[in-house]
Amino acid sequence: MLTLIGIVIVVIGFVLRINPLLVVTVAGLATGIASGLGPLAVVAAFGKAFITSRYVAIVWLVLPVIGLLEHAGLKERARAVVAGLRGATTSRILLAYFAIRQITAALGLTSLGGHAQMVRPLIAPMAEGAAENQYGELPEPTRYRIRAHAAAVDNIALFFGEDIFIAIGSILLIKGFLDQNGIHVEPTQLAIWAIPTAICAFVIHCTRLLLLDRRLRAELEHNSEPA
Amino acid sequence: MMAGVSIVNWRDRSNPRRLNNTAFWGIYAVTFLVGSHLPDLANGFLVIAMVVVASVRGLGQGKQESATREEREASARRWGNKLFIPALAIPFITVLGTVLFKKITIDGTPVVDLKQVTVISLAIATLVALATGMVMLRPPLFAPIREARRLLDAVGWAAVLPQMLAALGALFAIAGVGNVVSGLAQRWIPLDNPFVVVTTYAVGMAAFTMIMGNAFAAFPVMTAGIGLPLIVQKFGGDPTVMAAIGMLSGFCGTLMTPMAANFNIVPTALLELPDENAVIKVQIPTALLLLGANILLMNFLVFRR
């Protein structure tokens, strides 16, 4: 029971907005000690897990390129391109990205997106640019909200598209786990049963995106009215 | 591969703004450069050192932009859509690599370890894109590193959070947290109503995913604790439907938790949003609605057998 203390620490730490790195470390040490491991063993386990998951950081390799391009005006160019598109609103851009991301994920091309590679350099500026085109200079909170939506679209489209692809990690995990418990399932079946949820995700979130457009209009329309 | 990342980090740190920054990223670079050769205990202490540096005084940020808005806009006009080439090259080449590497073999063994294909393709794509960018734009030699440092400083310690959470997950697993939780769950839910059991499973997947930070860690625990004994064995549900929709319910949880740092915290840092939880707040309504949809779907579909 005491091993649950790690969870408690994490929850309290996040609620109190203490630096997450500190919270996670303390929670990890507490859990390890509560489960009977000596302190040194816990630190070693921590170190080992950290090193084994270094591949996660490969994403940061894109920063030099993206930084370079941004210095040369990538975001401004993205906004200019959007300005040239007729009928481009924030929602339509995000909707299009949602569809592209979800469909390509369902086809197994899960790397065709990403926060460092796509959202920051391209999608977020485009969405912001569309709003700027329609309504002029945007107040900061609106900018932030549009960017947050861009990131959300990337996540949601990915999560609920990728399980339709047979060779994706989650399906392999499910199959492996059930196999170990003596239950045989077909990956294709697992993929098919992901489809209803994927459709729901599309409908639900795209509705919200369209509502976003309406909300932007309500908030910002009065800005572009003549004085 | 790790050497590539470590070199980026290491050279980054040669231009620190403050001592804390140098220390933090320097230690991180060490874990990449020599981590595989150090004993686990040493690595553990390195990690703790990083955390101490980050917490005691915090990491600072240098000057924000390296070019004024006018300079960037002028540059944008000059280069036009060619700016997109290196940017789009990254996903394109990554996908290309992922597909090709699976097919290229020498004497029947794959050239690249299959599990690492995507990651390695991404690394290669990034390097190619960087080369393209350098050739095209001809910036000063250290410009990429300078820009990378600017971006990485903006992201801050959030860059390390995903790895830390992976470490935490490993500790949870060692400590057997999962079994304790599923044991508790089994004692407290009424076992005779299939609807309640299905709902508990789905909500449990979401909740446990929120705690663990990813659905993969939650899935074995919840399925072994509730899904298999109750839904499948006791009520005769279809394990395929249960597992598929269960995993997706877990994903609903992923959308709502700061523990899924890669998806929820890193973007707010990357997009320079003042509210750490901005992305989560946007996602919560969709996540909850989808969780409800999943519960209904599972209830209707899992017992068709």
What residues have CB less than 8 Å from A14, skipping those under 6 apart?
Answer: A20, A23, B258, B259
Examine residue B61 and state whether it is found in any structural domain, yes or no: no
| Most confident among A48-57, A182-191, B137-146 (mean pLDDT) | A182-191
B216-254 per-position pLDDT tens digit: 878 877 887 788 877 877 778 888 889 999 999 999 999
Contact B175 A35 (CB under 8 A): yes
Residue B1 has a pLDDT of: 45
Examine residue B83 and state whether it is found in any structural domain, yes or no: yes
A3-48 per-position pLDDT tens digit: 778 778 877 877 777 777 788 788 888 887 877 777 788 788 777 7
Q: With beta carbons less than 8 A apart as the criterion, state whether B102 and A167 touch.
A: no
| Most confident among A137-146, B28-37, B49-58, B60-69 (mean pLDDT) | A137-146
Residue B249 has a pLDDT of: 92
CB neighbour burial string for A32-48, b if at least 16 within 10 angstroms, e if fewer: bbbbebeeebbbbbbbb
Examine residue B62 and state whether it is found in any structural domain, yes or no: no
Q: Tally the domains of chain B.
A: 3
A vs B, Cβ pairs < 8 A, gives 406
Distance from CA of A194 to the nearest CA of B (A): 6
Contact B87 A121 (CB under 8 A): yes
The arithmetic mean of pLDDT across residues A65-92, rounded, is: 78
Q: What angle do CA A105, A107, A111 make, to 5 degrees?
A: 45
Same domain? B145 vs B169: no
Q: Which residue among B105, B122, B156 closes a domain? A: B156
pLDDT at A227 over 50: no
User: For residue B134, what pLDDT band results from cuts at 50, 70 and 90?
Assistant: confident
Contact B266 A45 (CB under 8 A): no
pLDDT at A91 over 70: yes
ipTM tops the 0.85 cut: no
**Of the candidates B202, B201, B252, which has an alpha carbon nearest to the alpha carbon of residue B229?**
B201
Contact B83 A109 (CB under 8 A): no
Looking at the partner chain, which of B36, B84, B243 has a beta carbon nearest the beta carbon of A174?
B243
Contact B267 A151 (CB under 8 A): yes
Residues in chain B closer than 8 A to A197 (CB atoms): 245, 248, 290, 293-294, 297
What letter would DSSP give residue B190? -
The arithmetic mean of pLDDT across residues B173-192, rounded, is: 72
pLDDT at A145 over 60: yes
B244-294 per-position pLDDT tens digit: 999 999 999 999 988 888 889 888 888 888 888 889 999 999 999 999 999
Distance from CA of A220 to the nearest CA of B (A): 19
Residue A153 has a pLDDT of: 92
Q: With beta carbons less than 8 A apart as the criterion, state whether B47 and A47 touch.
A: yes
Q: Which of A2, A12, A15, A21 to mutate to test the interface with B (most CBs of B within 10 A)?
A: A21
Which sequence spans correspond to the domains of chain A?
Answer: 2-52, 60-224
In whole angstroms, how far apart are CA A59 and each of A54, A69, B2, B162?
10, 17, 12, 11
Examine residue B187 and state whether it is found in any structural domain, yes or no: yes
Q: Which residue range is the domain that position B33 belongs to?
A: 2-56
What residues have CB less than 8 Å from B13, skipping those under 6 apart?
Answer: B21, B22, B25, B26, B29
